[in-house]
Structure 1
Amino acid sequence: MKGVSFIGIAVLGMLLSGCGGDSQFTDIKAKMAEVKGRPKGRIEPPPEFKVYKAFSYSAAALRSPFEQPVDVELAALPQRKSNVKPDFNRPKEVLEQFGTDALSMVGTLTRPGSSLYALVKDPDSGLHRVKEGNYLGRNFGKIVSITPNKIDVIEIVSDGQDGWVERPRTLVLREE
């Protein structure tokens, strides 16, 4: 038992010797003293902010964009009477089921002794031969002239006031 108590006292002595003495931390204490000895820094004041000016909504008295507009007196507007209107009784042609913007001119054909024909491609890649007087597009478009580079069409569209107006369109030869 004496040997065990001697070993215990020796271990306890070694542990306590590690806790004593300031010789190990002298370099850290010197660095801390140097840092504390430096002149104090100056912190800049925070930047000054502009005063926030609240937004004032000045369109409160105007019409809401989410409500229906008030009807304008149509009687006060000059009425344009035109004799333009589509022929609803004529049979529809094949190219009238497509919009004009979906059709494209891809070429022309000439036959001896006859007028110039144009080749029009539809969105389904179908190829159609047309001549002056044929119709195409959804807006009652009538072909008025064909040249080797373009097809001139006059469409009849609604003017929004129970009337019709003519609108020219052109299909240009598409080069692929």
Structure 2
Amino acid sequence: MSSRVPNIERPVLGGVVAILLTGCADSGLSELASYAERVMARSPRSLDPTPVIRQVDRFVYRAGDRRDPFVMDDQAAEHAAEQAVKVAQESRPSGLSPDPLRPKEPLEDYPLAALRMVGTLEQYGTRWALITSPEGTLHRVREGQHLGRNNGRITRIEPTELMLTEVVEKQPGQWARRRASLALNQ
């Protein structure tokens, strides 16, 4: 192969080289140089004095041998448990009443009328009711669980209905059982 470039390609090659060299021309450098001269000609501004930093006395925290105020010790925990039982016994009159120490379940935040039964399912011999809350969240409940604001305890789940027993206050301190149900919404 010959290292010579054909005659037609020489003018094209020369044009490409000329264009590339044009890109290296001094187009905006004069403007930049004049701006730099103007900035350098300005008189420098005086700086604000350095603020005085006050010396702070050193503090050493030495509470390692003291009790943590956020953790209840054994004696305080025992006293709190005794007080809770005492309050529960005093507030519960003899006879029927809801258990104030029982943790509330999520569906007890809603009135029974706001809940909707949308179906049932059976799994490993346990029948579950499918309940939707007013926000549209689907909950799965079974017999023995609670729902509604009147301490309702689920007693039976049928394919089309959920039965429960509510404990309602008739008069201050007097409680009564009442049957209620939630029918399947179709």
Indicate conservation of the 8 Å contact 1:156/1:164, yes or no. Answer: yes
Match of 1:101 in 2: 113
State the alpha-carbon separation in 2 of the partners of residues 117 and 172 from structure 1.
Answer: 14
Change in CA separation of 1:154 and 1:82 when aligned onto 2, cut-off 3 Å? farther
Match of 2:122 in 1: 110
- Is residue 2:137 matched to residue 1:126? yes
Greater percentage in helix:
2
Q: Return the structure number with greater relative CO, CA threshold 8 A, min gap 6.
A: 1
Match of 2:59 in 1: none
Over residues 63-109 of structure 1, what are the superposed CA-to-partner deviations in whole Å (9 max), with x where a residue is unaligned?
Answer: xxxxxxxxxxxxxxxxxx97211011011000000001100100001
Over residues 10-54 of structure 1, what are the superposed CA-to-partner deviations in whole Å (9 max), with x where a residue is unaligned?
Answer: xxxxxxxxxxxxxxxxxxxxxxxxxxxxxxxxxxxxxxxxxxxxx
Q: How does 1:43-82 map to 2 (within 5 A)?
A: none
- Is residue 2:100 matched to residue 1:88? yes
- Give 2:175's aligned amino acid: W
- Is residue 2:160 matched to residue 1:149? yes
- Unaligned residue ranges in structure 2 (runs of 5+): 1-92
In the alignment of these two chains, the number of paired residues is: 94
State the alpha-carbon separation in 2 of the partners of residues 166 and 88 from structure 1.
Answer: 16
Change in CA separation of 1:105 and 1:82 when aligned onto 2, cut-off 3 Å? farther
Q: Normalising to structure 2: TM-score of the pair?
A: 0.49
State the alpha-carbon separation in 2 of the partners of residues 166 and 90 from structure 1.
Answer: 18
- Unaligned residue ranges in structure 1 (runs of 5+): 1-80
Specify the structure having the higher radius of gyration (Cα). Answer: 1
Q: Normalising to structure 1: TM-score of the pair?
A: 0.51
- Give 1:171's aligned amino acid: L
Q: Which runs of 4+ in 1 moved over 6 A?
A: none
Task: Report the secondary structure of 1:96's partner residue.
Answer: helix
Aligned-residue Cα RMSD (Å) equals 1.4
